[in-house]
Structure 1
């Protein structure tokens, strides 16, 4: 199956963006500027990254591959931090959570022989893993901010009755971890039924045996579940203490 995307088809596809802009304007959502900036950034970033990856794949140098993987993790951490609404130490917490979850998942895949330490495999998969961890951590932060605000009185009562910070916060931490993991869990439940995964479909379009494409997609599902669970746990268990001051009082 040959797929061709030329300048004309891209221009016509831009009409889909105009639909989104019209809806945002009509409903007064206030996202018009963000949508325009997002589209422009996406085009510029994809062009730059596309040519960069082409060169990196051709070089096939380990340290360059690792450097680009680190850049992906740093950017994912920065974007996750922005979801924290000013939470103290949000960037180092996000970085540690994404770095560890990505490292563990990639380490297992490489050790199992599922992927090789080459840029054509490591960089795209790192992007998939880190982006899912970023979303999970962002949801964790959002839920913790909201829940600590809504349940402030309950937390204060627990502290007044002698509970330590962990006991007073545990229900919020667990709910936040679940919130961060939920999109990935829901995606795993509906993959192949509601959504046709891009990786599997792309491999089939490229002429790969569907059985091999299915195996790769199952691997992707496993690695995303691993990454989101590890990153959500690390982020939540490190972040909840930032809602208290040095005197163990709720901020």
Structure 2
């Protein structure tokens, strides 16, 4: 009996987790509705929908157990390891979007690392967040995810714009312009397009929808005033990290777009 009491005490959080999964499982009813609609409309997305929700369940469950372990540790190394893992996955994903950019995965990873690390450093130095797993890992996850999307779009758009306007860029190079000067307009356009959704989201936050961090706090029992304070911090850090990451990606892309003689690397722009 004593053994069972000790077992249930040590693993009570697992039992609580399983009890808490009743509502998420019940919520799959809306996914079944989507699967049914896909079938009736002959969209052919039924298998992908089922696969996506099963994968989400598994991934989030595993992450839940991992975070539960990390939060109980007093070791900075776990924070760094979790952060680098997120950056690696984000770099790979963003690089897949910009698959025609040479070494795109490394460029994306380095850009995301730079943007999020600088932003996180500023927040910690200003004492906005304490350097503990419970704060740093969720905050880093939000920044890395947002920077991943922006960086992928920036790299892809920059390469596609240069490809479309190769003659203009080559003319500028022939007249003595540096690679930066010759592609300045393309870089600006790529950055504006990639950052616009982040800025639009900041403009409409709270008016159209309540963001995840704010909603989570309110549903967790926090007052709306406390929730908006955190959400303001989140929006600020997302804009900062996304801007640094996207700009960094353009600088890291340039070497692969041009030859040492400052000519366009045509093989980068000939593939579809």
Give the TM-score normalised by structure 1: 0.89
Q: CA deviation at 1:59?
A: 2.0
Q: CA deviation at 1:11?
A: 3.2
Q: CA deviation at 1:51?
A: 1.1
Closer, same or farther: CA 151–59 of 1 in aligned 2, 3 Å = same
Q: What is the aligned residue count? A: 246
Q: CA deviation at 1:216?
A: 0.4
Is contact 2:35–2:49 with CA below 8 Å preserved after alignment?
no
Partner of 1:186: 200
Closer, same or farther: CA 37–235 of 1 in aligned 2, 3 Å = farther
Instruction: Give the aligned CA root-mean-square deviation in angstroms.
Output: 2.3
SS across alignment from 1:14:
helix
2:151, 2:175 → 1: CA distance? 31
SS across alignment from 2:153:
helix
2:129, 2:33 → 1: CA distance? 36
Within a 5 Å distance, the mapping from 1:10-89 to structure 2 comes to: 10-18=27-35, 21-22=38-39, 25-26=42-43, 35-89=49-103
My pick for the range that moved more, 135-144 or 6-15, is 6-15
Partner of 2:183: 169
My pick for the range that moved more, 11-20 or 224-233, is 11-20
Closer, same or farther: CA 50–16 of 1 in aligned 2, 3 Å = farther
Alignment equivalent of 1:143, drawn from 152, 157, 161: 157
Does residue 223 in structure 1 map to residue 240 in structure 2? Answer: no
Gaps of 5+ in 1: none
1:32, 1:159 → 2: CA distance? 51
Closer, same or farther: CA 159–23 of 1 in aligned 2, 3 Å = farther
Closer, same or farther: CA 117–91 of 1 in aligned 2, 3 Å = same
Partner of 2:170: 156
Closer, same or farther: CA 34–13 of 1 in aligned 2, 3 Å = closer
Give the number of the structure whose alpha-carbon radius of gyration is greater.
2
Gaps of 5+ in 2: 1-19, 267-272
Q: Deviations over 1:17-51 (max 9, x none)?
A: 4167448843x7xx666555433332221111111
